[in-house]
Amino acid sequence: MTYHTNPRLGYPIYSDTDPLILKMARENRKNLTPAERKLWEFLRKKKIIGMKFRRQHPVSRFIADFYCHQAKLIVEVDGGYHNDPEQVKYDKGRQNELENIGLMTIRFRNDEIEMDIQGVIERIKSVLQGRLRLQNPISSAPFPMTL
């Protein structure tokens, strides 16, 4: 997957993204579910450990509910239809595809976000910190003591 910085937008976009996916993502950003909107208030403006998230962001041939490029992390918000056996199968295949390109996906149900937003935020924060440590293990090592 390749990306370039869009000079107008000032952040990376994937240059090989289907224009239809870009259009769908734009539409999705206008129509967030209540749970997505609630979570977005906590993710936007680098509120969690200074990490930038994008909402309804094209990644490969999919649209991620929320995506942090620096941590290579996708956060998905699942409504009730994600319990349907066909949807479960699709979600697993999608997740495998995204993992094959180095991305991690974490999922939350709508009711988790509505009833325990602080727990959701803490889990996202923990996963972000773990992802960043994996990407840069030297910076997470303790400094050697000097005498």
Does position 139 have pLDDT exceeding 80, yes or no?
no
Residue 41 lies in a domain: yes
Q: What is the mean pLDDT of residues 18-40?
A: 94
* pLDDT, tens digit (0-9, with 9 covering 90-100), for 87-133: 889 889 999 999 999 999 999 999 999 999 999 999 999 999 999 98
Q: What is the pLDDT of residue 15?
A: 59
Domain count, the chain: 1
What whole-number distance in Å separates Cα of residue 66 and Cα of residue 52? 10
What whole-number distance in Å separates Cα of residue 92 and Cα of residue 37? 24
Indicate the SS3 state at residue 1.
coil
Residue 146 lies in a domain: no
Residue 126 maps to which CATH number? 3.40.960.10
Higher pLDDT, 122 or 82: 122
pTM: 0.81
Does position 52 have pLDDT exceeding 70, yes or no?
yes
58 near 12, Cβ under 8 Å? no
Give residue for tokens 């840069």. Answer: 136
